[in-house]
Structure 1
Amino acid sequence: MTDPCLFCAIAAGQIPSQSVYSDDHVYAFHDINPAAPTHILVIPRKHLSSVCDAGPDDEALMGKLLLAGQQIARDQGLAADGFRLVINTGDNGGQTVHHIHLHVLGGRQLTWPPG
């Protein structure tokens, strides 16, 4: 038996989080270890371990993830000065929770390259 997914438990309300957005397809909450003044995670309610696990049937869901990130950035007042949307994939890509998630980062000048 595998361990339950942390982000699935958060989306289901089994683990408390500071919610900023929720609908039938995605859930967004403040990161508990922020890398920027605004750092929000947007996750699909459907479990997908990474971008590599998304298939043709997930096309609409992936679009909803990006559009939710965009709306959250606007709602958080980040659109005027800019923000970053990031999806880390796999261990070498910096993914630490194996449930696809979009980072919405902003509130300061972000540097490049990121790491």
Structure 2
Amino acid sequence: MRVSLDEDLAAGLRCDAALYTTGGGVVTRDCVFCRIVARESPADIEYEDDEILVFKDLYPKAPIHLLVIPKRHIESIATLAPEDTPLMGRCVQIAKLLGERTGYARRGYRLACHCGPEGGQVVYHVHFHFTAGRRG
């Protein structure tokens, strides 16, 4: 569920609102991805476990465009704590699984993570873009 927004609106997607807890862990009220985790916003979910959620990007840039997110709110790669390392590793392992499930493990796929405004991050909840099916 990636949204195409101008910079002013994108700044509003930074997750500074009050924290609360769901079955997926600590989330924020104003984070679009946290609302998906809490089932307050719809998404086409492709994979879920206790820590990770994968859903289709609302505005796909390739025939297969999935977002891999930790359920627990982490604003960006720049704000990772050392204890977040295993969770980020799990996100990458889930991407490997997605490659196998989609038939692109041998053919190839892309896994990207944008960090901060100059890195192209729009939603301030760590997420990985899994894209496959087209070069670019």
TM-score (ref. length: structure 1): 0.91
Gaps of 5+ in 2: 1-15, 18-28
Gaps of 5+ in 1: 111-115
Structure 2 residue aligned with 1:84: 110
Query: In structure 1, how many angstroms separate the alpha carbons of the residues matched to 2:117 and 2:57?
Result: 19
Query: In structure 2, how many angstroms separate the alpha carbons of the residues matched to 1:109 and 1:87?
Result: 17
Number of aligned residues: 110
Query: In structure 1, how many angstroms separate the alpha carbons of the residues matched to 2:49 and 2:99?
Result: 16
Query: In structure 2, how many angstroms separate the alpha carbons of the residues matched to 1:77 and 1:12?
Result: 30
Q: Which moved more, 1:92-101 or 1:67-76?
A: 67-76
Structure 1 residue aligned with 2:90: 64
Q: Structure 1 residue 47: deviation in Å?
A: 0.4
Match among 53, 59, 65 for residue 39 of structure 1: 65
Q: Structure 1 residue 109: deviation in Å?
A: 2.1
Q: Structure 1 residue 11: deviation in Å?
A: 1.3
Amino acid at match of 1:11: V
1:10-66 CA-to-partner distances (Å, cap 9, x unmatched) read 112111100000000100000000011100000001100100111111111011111
TM-score (ref. length: structure 2): 0.77
Query: In structure 1, how many angstroms separate the alpha carbons of the residues matched to 2:97 and 2:64?
Result: 14
